[in-house]
Structure 1
């Protein structure tokens, strides 16, 4: 008689950033929906309250767990996610996050999940979970090429040249080490940082106000987890997934691209879409560029001016979703910009339903900061990408997409990262309408066969869950 599968209880604990929280929730929903396992989704009260509504078919299987965020000096009240604070305040958010150690331990002790699927930030979590007999999986919203570039634990550590540690020649201690492919990448690659990006990244290699560096967090998580699950798939990053599997001594599992489900908004948000769709409906099919730099990117006033004036100079119809920054810094549009572009473009300062906008037939291109989730959304609908990365892994994602001829980066100066209105206008015209840019438009359409193929993507989740089930069976029997 066939053995009946036991329902697993899986706790999920994403980092306090919506670029991490939403893919983590998407993964949780799919695990519940497809396999019937129970999910405890853990975050802070305000973040939980901002989540999209859980579909009724999986709601009974998903428990939303609110852990109040401890108070930390320098962290504004009600700031519970990276989108709520300017970039330089994020280390204080990490301090508050690290202070969730005790309430999270108590929750794990009382609820006794089989697995905890965690993020890169809680470097203190694996030993706690191991002591409680809970299996650990690190879920990375960073794609495989980025993880390979960051490097495996032995090259993140401070030791050098020991029997099992890195060769001293592998240790990256200089800025120059980040603008070339790492020595452990055995094939040709252009996925590197530019000098201006490497300067910013270099900060991550040093301890910040939270007391530890981001690299240290990665290293400790790798050393304490049992599986690494990555938001990617073989069809996009086969060579990088294979390499990462060789670099780590534990299973590496692609969980697919987790394309977000269309969200049902509340009435207010639906009326927002009515207004936006009316304008989009009036535009010619395949003529509009959508501009959105995510909820955390804060360009300088100069960058902002050049982007705006480049949009104007390009002559392309545009829809610009312009989020007001959490830090409250005031950034002004160039004088007379809205008047001069009236009718041709819209600057939208409220909430904008990105998924619905990208799916609209008038949209052909997307000026993006290269967040992996935004890229995933765009390729579901075959939108050609104009790449304008700013922080973190965005530069590496831009290089990956350029290697695949799936987007074009707006040229910047290597040293300071500045760009001009002319380079913005030129890149927009190339990707949106020039004959030479047809290759990028075609490649973006080709991407829908991977990114838009829900069945293909869901098979990755199924395989991942089978891995979790088998591992638990072995642990239980052992």
Structure 2
């Protein structure tokens, strides 16, 4: 009989249908299989095709399991990820995802898996796993500070007598025992308040999160105890179950071989710029600014007089009716000074270039990690979901500077954009952001620490079969 150390795990991973969830799941899968264990990565066909290709040594250990997404009313055909549809259609994507329960159950029954790692959306997954003697872990891609802010499962699911309106979420909750600024600004919570507690998928996001935490055996969370020790303690206090960190899961795929020609001309342009002078602007695969915000960003970039490279998503999938446009004459006026790219870009390669001196980001977790691993100071412009809470942590630690905005509606001016960019990238007053990001980098990119987290996780999983 194999000893626990020699025994090989089989872990099923079932991420939510968003690239911001699938990519960290894949990074974790690569670390697990790098230790000789096996992973079945379950998703839909188009999403699996979107993922970066695996190296030859890992490919035999990660099995991709295709589950075709069921057809549901109001969800366009071939829409399989959040990036394919406008915000208001994501609720129907969740409905289709829930309809995967039956085929997922059939797969799990024959999988001979030891553990299931599942995301916030399939709150029903752990009860399925338990039928077959499979232990379940909620793999949380959100930082511990975000989860700690939202509170115990019962509170998340609506049993909160104190936080009943958006204003209540603009201050830290009572269960956080230390001083912190981590809370939403009014315009941030107002934008998402209704969708958290009500949508047409059949279950609110709040219910999904609460049930997910209640039903799992353990919580595995993206994060580093050396970076946010106090927030990990909050989670242990409010969840009353094991909390296992897996590190920041820094991206290792530069482009998956998909961007050869695109990167070559971008690199040629970046090579001609001064070191640390270029602003990289990107808001991930999901965050989409409004037309007014795009106009303010564009005019602010122009006023800043800084060279820039802007990865602009003009629509969320082919069914998005609102196509964003740049101000008239903007591209002609900034020709030679800046580049706007409306297709996919090799973000890690761009951030790794010495010419880039600042990153205007939406504060999505993946983008923040990629910015920090390349020691690029951050200018923060939040749009959605947990981004405001992530921004507060970056502000507290002087790792990023939030662009000034109207507290009620979140609007901002082109002057605010220009001033913020210049502050962080070139001015003496912003030196603290440029220096702090270099100091913090080791907490995100440290192989020994990552090895320690993975060792702790795998030992736990083996010892609790």
Give TM-score scaled by structure 2 length. Answer: 0.97
Runs of 4+ in structure 1 over 4 Å off: none
394, 398, 410: which is aligned to 1:417? 410
Listed as ranges, the matches of 1:92-131 within 5 Å are 92-131=92-131
Structure 1 residue 330 displacement after superposition: 1.6
Listed as ranges, the matches of 1:234-273 within 5 Å are 234-266=225-257, 269-273=259-263
- Asked if 2 retains the 8 angstrom alpha-carbon contact of 1:52 and 1:263, the reply is no
- Asked if 2 retains the 8 angstrom alpha-carbon contact of 1:42 and 1:67, the reply is yes
The RMSD of aligned alpha carbons is: 1.4
C-alpha separation in 2, matches of 1:117 and 1:274: 38
C-alpha separation in 1, matches of 2:225 and 2:14: 25
- Asked if 1 retains the 8 angstrom alpha-carbon contact of 2:255 and 2:346, the reply is no
C-alpha separation in 1, matches of 2:282 and 2:447: 24
**CA-to-partner distance for each residue in 1:7-49, whole Å, 9 max, x for gaps?**
111000000000000000100110000x211100000000001
Task: Give the match for residue 327 of structure 2.
Answer: 334
**CA-to-partner distance for each residue in 1:280-317, whole Å, 9 max, x for gaps?**
00111111110001111221111110000001111111
402, 412, 420: which is aligned to 1:427? 420
Structure 1 residue 332 displacement after superposition: 1.1
Task: Give the match for residue 197 of structure 1.
Answer: 188
Listed as ranges, the matches of 1:18-417 within 5 Å are 18-33=19-34, 35-159=35-159, 168=161, 171-266=162-257, 269-325=259-315, 326=317, 327-417=320-410
C-alpha separation in 2, matches of 1:223 and 1:413: 37
Structure 1 residue 154 displacement after superposition: 2.4
- Tell me the secondary structure at the aligned position of residue 42 of structure 1: strand
- Tell me the secondary structure at the aligned position of residue 12 of structure 1: strand
C-alpha separation in 2, matches of 1:182 and 1:330: 39
Give unpaired runs (5+ residues) of structure 1.
160-165, 473-478
Structure 1 residue 264 displacement after superposition: 4.8
- Asked if 2 retains the 8 angstrom alpha-carbon contact of 1:204 and 1:215, the reply is no
C-alpha separation in 2, matches of 1:72 and 1:193: 34
- Tell me the secondary structure at the aligned position of residue 234 of structure 1: coil
C-alpha separation in 2, matches of 1:330 and 1:365: 27
- Tell me the secondary structure at the aligned position of residue 178 of structure 1: helix
More deviation, 339-348/43-52: 339-348
Aligned residues: 461
- Counterparts in 2 of 1:264 and 1:390: CA distance versus 1, 3 Å: closer
Task: Give the match for residue 162 of structure 1.
Answer: none
Structure 1 residue 144 displacement after superposition: 0.3
- Asked if 2 retains the 8 angstrom alpha-carbon contact of 1:10 and 1:113, the reply is yes
- Asked if 2 retains the 8 angstrom alpha-carbon contact of 1:27 and 1:461, the reply is no
